[in-house]
Amino acid sequence: MPRKRKNLRRAAALLLAALLLALTGCSSAPGETPGPSGAADGGLQRYQANFLELFDTVTTVVGYAETEDEFYELVNGLRDELSVYHQLYDIYNDYEGLNNIKTINDNAGGAPVEVDQRIIDLLLFCRDMYAATEGRTNVMLGSVLAIWHDAREYSINNPGDAYLPDMAELEAAKEHTDFSLLVIDDEANTVQITDSEASLDVGAVAKGYATQRVCENLPGGLLVSVGGNVFATGAKPDGSPWTIGVQDPDGDASEYVNRVRFDRACLVSSGDYQRYYTVDGVRYHHIIDPDTLMPPTMWRAVSVICPDSGVADALSTALFTMDLESGLELLGKFEGAEAMWIDPDMELHFSPGFEAYVVED
């Protein structure tokens, strides 16, 4: 059985800047303790860039370069590439001359839609993860998630009238969530939803998948965080690993249950503290169990360390809806994947290899 640890360790760190692109020397990585002011490595200066415009979240890039212009050029290239994925995987907005996930949803029940290969690749990946998780991560749950999304948005804006979705409505929507309703033609580059009441919601996977695709060809020595999907492309120039904080669900973004350290891997967390609303004093978060159609209460948060950010994103969602034994069995299907669970009593549970990454005080 995984070990448990009751005492949470909190480590103060700098908050991520939720501003438009800003370059600063000697800033800290997400969750990392900053070095001395003006610190450099082998003539390379440390820089950090933040931008808030993609995947509805903050993206942070930390790395080393000889000049600010050199770092700025790399970050702009990353941002441009990530922007393409943002538009392709968007389920809410149209873009002129572009067929995206929203286009597929808008044509549900109609003819196949020709799409970019990057959408085909994402959906094939989603199909594999649907099978591997036995439906726990299902991007065809869009009809159910849309009902929860509307309830959450209305309730946040009108807290006095906050409400829960009607279970009968959710059950009816569930009838339109089977993955077989999605037809992917890799040769023709087309996607078709055969049921007019069905829709895609790739929120559980797209951000991590896009982060993986953008980061896997970057030079080593960078730390990229896309809304908390953290990807290290390699060790720092001095050979040391990166240190990343795992947020305390009851704290703010600068409070951590522990810190982990690695040089090339990714860390993805799912939790009840990220997007939620309150009805009659009870918190209802955004992760929905495909069986109960309700937000599960088994865990406060699940964090996954994995070589692949897309896999980590899909796994963190699936594990959040599963008991510990089932979750450990699922993890065993993925080489190099480790996880940490935080239960409602704030006890930590680890897969066998996770604690090897934890930084001891």
Tokens of 267: 């860390």
pLDDT (tens digit, 9 = 90+) per residue, 306-357? Answer: 999 999 999 999 999 999 999 999 999 999 999 999 999 999 999 999 999 9
DSSP letter string over 211-260? HHHHHTTSPSS-EEEETTEEEEES--TTSPPEEEEEE-TTS-TT-EEEEE
Report yes or no: 309 and 229 within 8 Å, Cβ to Cβ.
yes
pLDDT of residue 228: 81
Question: pLDDT class for 42, splitting at 50, 70, 90?
Answer: low
CATH class label, 101-193: mainly alpha
Helix or strand or coil: residue 27? Answer: coil
76-125 pLDDT, tens digit each:
999 999 999 999 999 999 999 999 999 999 999 999 999 999 999 999 99
Would you state the structure tokens that stand for residue 264, as one six-digit string? 């090339």
Helix, strand, coil percentages for the chain (3-state, nearest 5): 30, 25, 45
Of 311, 309, 338, the residue nearest 59 (C-alpha): 309
pLDDT of residue 340: 98
First and final C-alpha spacing in the chain: 24
Residue 277, both tokens = 């609303």
How distant, in Å, are the alpha carbons of 146, 295, 333, 346 from that of 284? 15, 6, 30, 18
Q: pLDDT digit string (tens) for 13-36?
A: 322 322 223 333 333 344 453 333
Q: How does the average pLDDT of the chain come out, rounded?
A: 89
Cα 139-152-272 angle, rounded to 5 deg: 70
pLDDT digits (tens, 9 = 90+) for 140-185: 999 999 999 999 999 999 999 999 999 999 999 999 999 999 999 9
54 HSE (CA, 13 A, CB side): 27
pLDDT at residue 25, as a whole number: 32
Asked if the model's pLDDT at residue 274 lies above 90, the reply is no
Give the phi and the psi of residue 206 in degrees, each rounded to 5.
-60, -45
